[in-house]
Chains A and B, each alone.
Chain A
């Protein structure tokens, strides 16, 4: 490998290839953002910069409502999926049945979105029917709405889908952690929770933060499951796609698409920069450890 990089043109060629690849993948996204700032919209011969389409978007109460629901659903998904992924990752480190645990945790990823969404839809409808029957028969009115389609059912669909990602991201970070440190903390008088919070968590928090960002983006951009399970409310993505289906891409649709893209890239880019900075710091520390400052 090192031999290959002695040829500067090969090294530069590698970079050109990477930039072309990333460019090809992201060009349509940047093009959408570009159009969203054109006063004359898609296909116009002339380009005049404007914020108008964003003003139109922000003046639309349906879009603002959907943005609120999106952020709420994202936050709730993060609040549930990340702790679940963390618990599963901790259990993975301790259990002897690792293969079974990984298979179970990753199973939701192998089910196509529309299949999982419609399966959950049928499931919730049946549960809803059962709850209605119980409410009618036994007078338990308080359970009638438990499984009506809405925020809760959409949340279940999103959590089911995002937990595997949270699990994997946290597990990767956790692989650097030595369980002996927990035992050392316990033998210094720490309870199980204190050992986790004061010793383990500070060392895996990058993974937890990355998982949170990842889950939030997944939730923010999710369409199929959310659309099937959301009931009466809309998310930013369901509104955008419904606009596209019903009226085609309007200028404010480009503004919406641009907003989704920018938010996603900012969150992912932010986490990436933070993670890379941390990796660099850990490597610096590892190099320092290889040449101790003093002897015993």
Chain B
């Protein structure tokens, strides 16, 4: 059986059950050759299971896996053109760095001299030249992950799977390693599939992102599409800090919909969702696109607004979150750069209007 050879990875209705628990169900994923693909989602959502199914570390309960058009569903991990970087504890503690990196080559009975050369080259690529004789316990967390990366890359496999590779690192190191991973992927040009629950990490490295939650593929797109134009309510809620309004459609045409959200009626673009009257819908607006207006301030015609009460400002360093409470009791954060003027001068308890541009709101039916 063969499929599209432009795809590095393709899964067809892939599923995995553990007894009565469904870890993954009906996942159809397509990963283009040479791309940096991220599986993003909350913990326990099934993204690691999906990665392990692709890598052959778990057998699927349903569905097929194709790698470069070839059906590999029944092949074990060691016979697939994939290799994997794990979160931690995956270096062999009884082997030096050089032996760890050369492990796969030694299994293939590659000549010792060639092993040494390729190991040196890979350690150079990951910035660990001179670390050949160190033991894993002599390395920091970041260095250990670089060794894992070298051990995988030295095998010249087509697809590199990374299972939360930066989760055990501190914030600063994680950011550095993100750029490092992206640089290496661009340099070696193979397909990377990276699992993470950290959206900043995902945005930094990804060409494309798939949102995985509750054992399902929720949505897939480029980083910008996923962040700025989420099609599904779950994505909008999971990515960034987002206010979700629930409501019922009062009127709709091909361009706009009027939605009753309980505390008012607002208008929202309807081109993508194409809702009809009486449909139950959600409207999402990211916190940095919200604005606070004085009650008597005139908003432009393209702006929507609801009444709110200003409560407080939480300083977060680069940004601050201005907290307001809506008439239905819901709390909403309005994100602004901490240096920005205006909203910080509002007195707690003051009446304001929470406003946004109509085109910044997204309409969701699911």
Residues of chain B within 8 A (CB-CB) of A199 are: 92
Q: Which of A183, A188, A285, A295 contacts B104 (CB 8 A)?
A: A188
| A181 adjacent to B76 (CB under 8 Å) | no
Task: Count A interface residues, CB 8 Å.
Answer: 27
The answer to the question of B340 belonging to the interface, with a C-beta cut-off of 8 Å to chain A, is no
Q: Which of A184, A198, A203, A285 contacts B135 (CB 8 A)?
A: A285
B-chain residues with CB within 8 Å of residue A112 when the two chains form the complex: none
- Check: A129 CB closer than 8 A to any chain B CB: no
Q: Could you say which residues of chain B place their CB within 8 Å of the CB of A186?
A: 56-57, 76-78
Residue pair A184, B139 in contact (C-beta under 8 Å) = no
For A203, give its contact among B55, B93, B143, B155 (CB under 8 Å).
B93
Segment at the B interface, from A212-220, A236-244, A248-256, A286-294: A286-294
**A249 → chain B, closest Cβ, in Å?**
49
Which B residue sits closest to A203, measured CB to CB?
B94
In the bound complex, do residue B92 and residue A185 qualify as a contact, i.e. CB atoms below 8 Å apart? yes
**How distant is the Cα of A188 from the Cα of B153 in the complex, in angstroms?**
10
Contact of A184 with B84 at beta-carbon distance under 8 Å, contacts A189-B78, A189-B155, A296-B176 already known:
yes
Which of B37-88 touch A at CB < 8 Å?
Answer: 55-57, 76-78, 82-84, 86-88
Q: Are B107 and A289 in contact (CB under 8 A)?
A: no
CB <8 Å contact, B84 and A183: yes
Whether the Cβ atoms of B143 and A187 lie closer than 8 Å is no
Distance of A261 from chain B, by nearest CB (Å): 36
Number of chain B interface residues as a range: 35 or more
Whether B310 sits at the interface, judged by CB under 8 Å, is no
Query: When the two chains form their complex, are residues B78 and A187 in contact, meaning their CB atoms are under 8 A apart?
Result: yes
From B90, B137, B138, A178 is in contact (CB under 8 Å) with B90
Q: Shortest CB–CB separation between residue B171 and chain A, in angstroms?
A: 13
Complex Cα spacing A102 to B93, Å: 29
B139-A294 in contact (CB<8A): yes
**A189, A190, A191, A296 interface centre (most CB from chain B within 10 Å):** A296
* Interface of A: prevailing SS: helix
A199 to B89, CA, bound (A): 13
| CB nearest to A205 among chain B residues | B94
Q: How far is the CA of A187 from the CA of B162 in the complex (A)?
A: 12
Check: A194 CB closer than 8 A to any chain B CB: yes
C-alpha gap A183/B92 in the complex (Å): 11
**Residues of B contacting A28 with CB < 8 Å?**
none
Also in contact, A292 and B140, with CB within 8 A (given A186-B78, A199-B92) = yes
Q: Whole-angstrom distance between the alpha carbons of A175 and B148 in the complex?
A: 23
Q: Flag if B57 contacts A185 (CB, 8 Å).
A: no
Check if A296 sits within 8 Å of B143, measured CB to CB: yes
B107: chain A residues at CB < 8 Å are: 188-190, 194, 198
Question: Are B138's CB and A288's CB within 8 A?
Answer: yes
**B83 in contact with A188 (CB, 8 Å):** yes
Chain A residues near B155 (CB, 8 Å)? 188-189
Q: Is B142 an interface residue (CB 8 A)?
A: yes
**B356 part of interface (Cβ distance < 8 Å):** no
A187 contacts B176, CB within 8 Å? no
B141 contacts the other chain (CB 8 A)? yes
Residues of A within 8 A of B93 (CB): 203
- Decide if B173 is an interface residue (CB 8 Å cutoff): yes
- B103 interface residue, CB < 8 Å from A? yes
B247 to chain A, nearest CB (A): 45
Q: Which residues of B contact A184 (CB under 8 A)?
A: 84, 86, 90-92, 148, 151
Residue B113 at the chain A interface, CB threshold 8 Å: no
Please tell me if A43 contacts chain B, counting CB pairs below 8 Å: no
Distance A59 CA – B84 CA, assembled complex (angstroms): 64
Please state if A187 and B57 are interface contacts (CB–CB under 8 Å).
yes
User: Is B142 touching A289 in the complex (CB atoms < 8 A)?
Assistant: no
Does B309 reach chain A (CB closer than 8 Å)?
Answer: no
Complex contacts, A8 vs chain B, CB 8 Å: none
How far apart are the CA atoms of A173 and B146 in the complex, in Å? 28
* A202 interface residue (CB < 8 Å to B): yes
A183 touches B57 (CB 8 A): yes
Does B345 make an interface contact (CB < 8 A)? no
Q: Which residues of chain A have C-beta atoms less than 8 A from B83's C-beta? A: 187-188
- Among B84, B86, B93, B108, chain A packs the most CB atoms within 10 A around the CB of B93
A191→B104 CA distance, assembly (Å): 11
Which residues of B sit under 8 angstroms from A187, Cβ to Cβ? 55-57, 77-78, 82-84, 152, 161
Complex contacts, B141 vs chain A, CB 8 Å: 296
In the complex, the answer to whether A295 meets B140 with C-beta atoms within 8 Å is yes
- Could you list 11 further interchain pairs (A-B, Cβ under 8 angstroms) beyond the known A199-B92, A296-B142? A180-B88, A181-B90, A183-B57, A183-B84, A186-B56, A187-B56, A188-B78, A190-B78, A192-B76, A295-B142, A296-B173
Interface positions of A (Cβ within 8 A of B): 178, 180-181, 183-192, 194, 198-199, 202-203, 285-286, 288-289, 292-296
Please name 10 pairs of A and B residues whose Cβ atoms are closer than 8 Å in the assembled complex, sorted by A.
A181-B89, A186-B76, A187-B57, A188-B78, A188-B103, A188-B104, A203-B93, A285-B135, A292-B139, A296-B177
Q: Which 3 A-B pairs have the closest CB atoms?
A: A296-B142, A188-B104, A289-B137
